[in-house]
Amino acid sequence: MLPAAEAPVPAVFASDTPAFDQGPQRSAKMPRIGPESAGTRPSSAAHVVPGRGAFWLALVRARYPNPRMAEPAYRSSVCRAVLSAVDELLEPAVRQRILERAPADAIARIRDTGRLGWVPAETLHAVNLVIADELGMEGYRDFFRRQTLQQVEMPIFAAMFRGALRVFGVEPSGLLRLLGRSWDAVTQALGHIECMFEGPHAARIRLFGVPAGVRIEPMAFSMEGSILALLELAGRSGVVTTDSTQLMSDGILEMLVTW
């Protein structure tokens, strides 16, 4: 189990806020659901307008598909960013070895999928396992720290990052609140992230619900690297203590972050 945070104090949330913070709710306008947007045409004999209950049920199903029916996947833009980091952050010889060892079909799948499309989780993981093997786990963690520093400039993350800075200022707690929302934005059926603060300088991060078929040990090190990058963006140094004993068996990863 993780060590207790030093000198814990009550959580910083207001009394009516859940213990685990998933970040601000999406404010994007809900799509309009109708015959045309659903990809069907009204019958030529009659145009039946569904009741309000059917309308909202269709809307919810369209915007929030059942995760049990979804394939574990990452947004293509995130997968492409990993390949770009291999090109830009690593020595040419290391880059060449990774590209030679990684499955050619996995790299092609990532490069050929549109930026807003989904890439199966095992496809990216096949590449990440090669990166981890080439760099070692310490190097893999640092690779994802540097890669996360690049990712905050991506459109899918930039708006959330700027919003957190406006609301919370340049503070680790504000940036760590982004983890749950950003994970949900770029993954599908890959679990969820919770963040609970234990005083002004500590937080517990919990990833849970990772499906059995896509659990890989390097996930712990890539998440550590991403968290260290967020602390760096806030101008702080810190320590991430990870408990990965339940990752492969139960799909749970827990981290204590202090700064």
Q: Phi and psi of 167, rounded to 5°?
A: -80, -45
210: in domain: yes
Tokens of 159: 């708006």
CATH value at residue 220: 3.90.1520.10
C-alpha to C-alpha distance for 230 and 225, rounded to whole angstroms: 9
211: in domain: yes
Tokens of 65: 């598909």
Q: Which range, of 55-59, 136-140, 216-220, averages the lowest pLDDT?
A: 55-59
Higher pLDDT, 51 or 109: 109
221: in domain: yes
pLDDT single digits (tens) 212-223: 999 999 999 999
Higher pLDDT, 61 or 86: 86
What's the mean pLDDT in 71-91? 96
Domain count, the chain: 1
Q: How confident is the model at residue 148 (pLDDT cuts 50, 70, 90)?
A: very high
pLDDT for residue 60 is more than 80? no
- Buried-state track 179-192, b at ≥16 Cβ within 10 A, e below 16: bbbbbbebbbbbbb
pLDDT for residue 157 is more than 80? no
Residue 61, number of CB atoms within 10 A of its CB: 11
Quick one: what percent of the chain has pLDDT higher than 70?
Answer: 68
Higher pLDDT, 35 or 72: 72
**DSSP H/E element including 194:** strand 192-197
Helices (DSSP H) in the chain: which residue ranges?
52-63, 76-89, 92-101, 104-112, 121-151, 155-168, 172-176, 178-186, 218-233, 247-250
213: in domain: yes
45: in domain: no
Domain hosting residue 83, numbered range: 73-258
- Taking all residues of the chain, what is their mean pLDDT, rounded to a whole number? 79
Higher pLDDT, 48 or 97: 97
Higher pLDDT, 201 or 178: 201
129: in domain: yes
